[in-house]
Amino acid sequence: MRHNFGAGPCILPQEVFKQASRAVLDFKDGLSILEISHRSPEFEEVMAEANKLVKELLNVPSGYSVLFLQGGASLQFAMVPMNLLPEGKTAAYLETGVWANKAIKEVKNFGKANVVATSKEANFTFIPKDYEIPEDSAYFHYTSNNTIYGTELFTLPVTKVPVVCDMSSDIMSREIDVSKYDLIYAGAQKNIGPAGLTIVIVKDDILGKSGRAIPSMLDYASYKDNDSMYNTPPVFSIYVAMLNLNWLKSKGGIAEIEKENKAKADALYKEIDRNPLFKGTCAVEDRSRMNVCFVMEKPELEKSFAKFADDNGFEGLKGHRSVGGFRASMYNALPITSVHALIDLMQTFEENQN
Ligand code: PMP
């Protein structure tokens, strides 16, 4: 048995893979999901269902739209300022890692970014806490979970300016209050579904105020006004996302999965803190539940633990090159039994050293 701790694209439920494979062969009357029109009533139903599930699971209030786009979270780094930052204005950004940094870099094409705080000097091992967001900022942007470094921001900074959040790696993993945000975006390939789809949840009344001419495909309004079918949407990715969100609903929704995610993270961090061979890389109060980063106390043991993990069926544990060591990504579909198996592995490795 393989245990998939990959950071994304990542594990999805087996039953979703089975349902998706069946639909590739026969979605409707012998036709594959891959060969039907996106304008067919059958796909329109899928689209409506996927949209409804996002709204239901995240309790999206009225006055917000759920949009399905392509281009990954990386395209949102540019679409956000293009749509929300008026000419000559400044947007506030919290720099908590490479993804936040890439988002900041895109702003200069449209206006100015004011980096209100950064933990760059500490290789992003903590989330900066004391900073001010100027009230004349067009919006405040932050990354809720820093996939590479394993830090997560659980409480939203208090601010009067519109809040924009990159939730690519922790959306659907814990309850959030959507009404506190003006725009949320996420590449799908962690807790939503396969790569190729990006979800945007936007407060309707912040759109149309940038005063800038926006190409149609980069204008949120095109997606909002056309039920995300301004052009051909990523049909299969949306279909699989719909299956996966249905799975999440059948598990009891986000409140239930949050309990499980908490239990998984608590168990693994407990072992990292107990086992003298390992140590966590981030500030304890900022530890992510989705991506658990750790290194060996003795770096010379890293290769042999990596091999031991590989030999025992563990996949995707290698840390990002900018952090090194190991990263256990524990998205919704990763069963707690895989986390217990990893803990057993760490304990056996410890025993083998004696
Ligand atoms: N933001 C975060 C938090 C991410 O984890 C990633 C990718 N893992 C990205 C942005 C970039 O996403 P994409 O590859 O979908 O553009």
Catalytic residue (one of 105, 129, 130, 190)? 190
pTM of structure: 0.98
pLDDT given for residue 38 in this prediction? 97
CA of 187 to the centre of ligand 1 (A): 6
Ligand-binding annotation for 147, yes or no, is yes
User: Is 136 one of the catalytic residues?
Assistant: no
Q: Is the pLDDT of residue 9 over 90?
A: yes
Domains in the chain, start-ordered, CATH in brackets? Answer: 3-10+252-353 (3.90.1150.10), 14-250 (3.40.640.10)
pLDDT given for residue 159 in this prediction? 96
Tens digits of residue pLDDT in 301-313: 999 999 999 999 9
User: Is 129 one of the catalytic residues?
Assistant: no
Tens digits of residue pLDDT in 218-260: 999 999 999 999 999 999 999 999 999 999 999 999 999 999 9
- Contact 168 CB / ligand 1 (< 6 Å): yes
| 106, 83 contact by CB (below 8 A) | no
pLDDT given for residue 308 in this prediction? 98
Q: What pLDDT band is residue 354 in, cutting at 50, 70 and 90?
A: confident
The rounded distance, in Å, linking the Cα atoms of 191 and 171 is: 7
For the chain, give the longest Cα–Cα distance.
67
| 26, 145 contact by CB (below 8 A) | no
- Contact 169 CB / ligand 1 (< 6 Å): yes
Q: What pLDDT band is residue 180 in, cutting at 50, 70 and 90?
A: very high
At which residue do the structure tokens 């042999």 appear?
Answer: 304
Q: What pLDDT band is residue 344 in, cutting at 50, 70 and 90?
A: very high
Q: Is the pLDDT of residue 114 over 90?
A: yes
Q: What pLDDT band is residue 55 in, cutting at 50, 70 and 90?
A: very high
- Contact 187 CB / ligand 1 (< 6 Å): yes
CA of 75 to the centre of ligand 1 (A): 10
Average pLDDT, the chain: 97
Q: How many CB atoms lie within 10 A of CB 211?
A: 10
Q: Which residue's CA is the closest to the ligand 1 atom numbered 12?
A: 73
Of 69, 76, 99, the one to substitute when testing ligand 1's pocket (max ligand atoms within 8 A of C-beta) is 99
Average pLDDT over residues 330-343: 98
Q: What is the dihedral of CA 59, 337, 321, 99, to 10 degrees?
A: 0
| 218, 69 contact by CB (below 8 A) | no
- Contact 194 CB / ligand 1 (< 6 Å): no
Q: Is the pLDDT of residue 1 over 90?
A: no
Element (H, E) at 201: strand 198-203
pLDDT given for residue 216 in this prediction? 98
3-state secondary structure of 97: coil
| 282, 126 contact by CB (below 8 A) | yes
User: Is 279 one of the catalytic residues?
Assistant: no
Which ligand 1 atom sits closest to the C-alpha of 187?
Answer: 15
User: Using the 8-state DSSP alphabet, how is residue 323 labeled?
Assistant: T
- Contact 151 CB / ligand 1 (< 6 Å): no
Element (H, E) at 260: helix 253-274
pLDDT given for residue 274 in this prediction? 98
| 201, 60 contact by CB (below 8 A) | yes
Q: Is 123 left (phi over 0), alpha (psi -120 to 50) or beta?
A: left
Q: Which amino acid is residue 286, in one-letter code? A: D
Average pLDDT over residues 315-331: 96
40: CB partners within 8 A, 6+ apart: none
| 106, 74 contact by CB (below 8 A) | no
Q: Which residue's CA is the closest to the ligand 1 atom numbered 14?
A: 72
Q: Is the pLDDT of residue 341 over 90?
A: yes
